[in-house]
Amino acid sequence: MSKQKFYKIVTYGCQMNVHESEKIAGVLSELGYVPCGELSEADIIVFNTCCIRENAENHAFGNIGMLKKLKAENRELIIAVGGCLPQQVGKADNLHEKFPYVDIIFGTHNLHKLKDYVLLKQKQKKAVIEIDSDEGLVCEGDNPVRTSYPNAWVNITYGCNNFCSYCIVPFVRGRERSRHSENIINEVKRLLAEGYKEITLLGQNVNSYGNGSDNVTFPQLLEKIANLDGKFRLRFMTSHPKDFSEELARVIAANEKICHCVHLPVQSGSDAVLKAMNRKYTAQDYLTKISYLKKHVPDCAVTTDLIVGFPGETEEDFEATLNLVKEVNYSSAFTFVYSKREGTVAAKMPDQIPEEVSKERIMRLIDLVNSLTREHTKNYVGKTVEILCEDYDKKKGMYLGRDCYGRMGYFKSETNAIGEFVNIKISKANGVSLIGERV
């Protein structure tokens, strides 16, 4: 009998979700499913959804809707929808009503039971729907099918306690819990032995890492991992400014394997907006954290997340954001228009900003961020950088990878360079990316 096939997990949202999809693929592999690249060949299709902004949610709804025809043609096909979207109050029922042909609906705390759900669904006609509430689940012993060689994602924390007033994550991911440091270190050792060259530690707020049972702080954990043998790069995301310490900046400076690249989301440059967002720092507090980095790691690339159009944001508030962006001189930034999420504190705030105002602001912000990014890339021309090659771009006929600051570089190579550290001399800066020759 031919093997059952799973279509590559359809993923929405952040790197956390990308890694979670690798875990879902791992669960399906344990059941004997093998991957396939065509929807029409698949025996199971899994959507790993995101609900952080309305457009991510709509995108998932649209794609699930498009499978109606395929399901009608192939009654044996299993369609499963998991992740953040069904974890929201009432959304699983909503999904079931809207798409009765979806076979399995499961929440963020149910990933490991997907195996049981598939087996159950193969026996019964009825849809399997299970959404657990926060059980303090810490995942160990996962067997992900990794898709991002030479990088490997490693969760160190799950959930979030910060309750930024705009954000749905604490509601759908539960309270923050940390993995035991020994388990994390053993996982990293295994990955390095398997040949992975870059480890990215993942958590909603890695800086507040700390497992009550072993008292290891985040800077200590980083140091322990950076001290492991072998040539590799160590990255981490995401950091919350309120927990970013000078000690962390010192640890980055003292360990050459830790990349000089920090993602430190500021969200806004206005104290009034930061307060309403419940971010627990002022613009000045944030700049103090940046000064730790500039002092200890002067060449550190800093990236950020920014939201425009938060309820009550005035033109002056927005200009404070533009000024902060210029002052920090970010090497790049993710920019978002505020999206109202039901159930959050901000959703009930008066003074929601009209769409045209938000749109105009985000265009101005994107222009500024792009001009800073272009300046950063221009400074590379003539320099030689070390790229960790991660892929081959068929259209361009070039290999690509990132330097330790996170900047993407393209180059030609006669031999397969994926997984190698390659020195390239930059000849051209192309907006956000670089082009160079192997030296």
List contacts with ligand 5AD (CB under 6 A).
52-53, 166-167, 265, 267, 305, 307, 336, 338-339, 341
Whether 352 contacts 310, CB under 8 Å: no
Distance CA 395, CA 399 (A): 11
DSSP letter (8 states) at residue 43: S
Residue 336 binding: pick among ligand 5AD, ligand SF4, none (C-beta 5-8 Å cut-off by kind): ligand 5AD
Q: Which is nearer to ligand SF4, 164 or 328 (CB)?
A: 164
Secondary structure element (H or E) that encloses residue 370, with its range: helix 355-378
Nearer to ligand 5AD, 156 or 160 (CB): 160
Nearest CB to ligand SF4, comparing residues 162 and 377: 162
Closer CB to ligand SF4, 151 or 204, in the complex: 204
Instruction: Tell me the C-alpha distance between 174 and 152, whole Å.
Output: 24
Place of tokens 């990878």: 401
**CB of 26 or CB of 312, closer to ligand 5AD:** 312
Report d(CA 8, CA 22) in Å as an integer: 9
Name the binder of 391 from ligand SF4, ligand 5AD, none, CB < 5-8 A by kind.
none
Q: Which does 211 bind (CB under 5 to 8 A by kind): ligand 5AD, ligand SF4, none?
A: none
- Of ligand 5AD, ligand SF4, none, which one sits near residue 407, judging by CB under 5 to 8 A according to partner kind? none
- C-alpha 87/C-alpha 105 separation (Å) is 9
SS3 18: helix
Separation CA 285–CA 290 (nearest Å):
9
Give the shortest CB-338-to-ligand 5AD separation in angstroms.
5
Please say which residue, 7 or 336, places its beta carbon nearer to ligand 5AD: 336
Of ligand 5AD, ligand SF4, none, which one sits near residue 160, judging by CB under 5 to 8 A according to partner kind?
A: ligand SF4
Interface with ligand SF4 (CB under 6 A): 160, 162-164, 167, 169-170, 204-205, 240
CB of 102 to ligand 5AD, least distance (A): 25
| Residue nearest ligand 5AD, Cβ-based | 305
Task: List C-alpha distances in Å: 271 to 239, 267, 314, 379, 393.
Answer: 19, 11, 12, 33, 43
User: In degrees to the nearest 10, what's the CA dihedral of 168, 173, 174, 176?
Assistant: -110
CA atoms of 155 and 178, how far apart (whole Å): 9
Helix axes 246-254, 283-296, angle to 10 degrees: 20
* Tokens encoding 185: 């270190």
CA–CA gap between residue 300 and residue 292 (Å, rounded): 11
| Nearest distance in Å: CB 205, ligand SF4 | 5
Q: For residues 52 and 435, which CB has a smaller minimum distance to ligand 5AD in the complex?
A: 52
Rounded to a whole number of angstroms, the minimum distance from the CB of residue 222 to ligand SF4 is 19
| Min separation Cβ 274 and ligand 5AD, Å | 12
Sign of CA dihedral 79, 84, 87, 91: negative
Query: Residue 240 binds which entry of ligand 5AD, ligand SF4, none, with Cβ cut-offs from 5 to 8 Å by kind?
Result: ligand SF4
Residue type, 424: I
Least distance to ligand 5AD from the beta carbon of 132, Å?
23
Tokens 């959804």 found at = 49
Give 154 or 160: the residue with its C-beta nearer to ligand SF4.
160
Least CB distance to ligand SF4 at residue 240 (A): 5
Q: Where are the alpha helices (DSSP H) in 227-270?
A: 246-254
Minimum separation from the CB atom of position 18 to ligand SF4 (A): 16
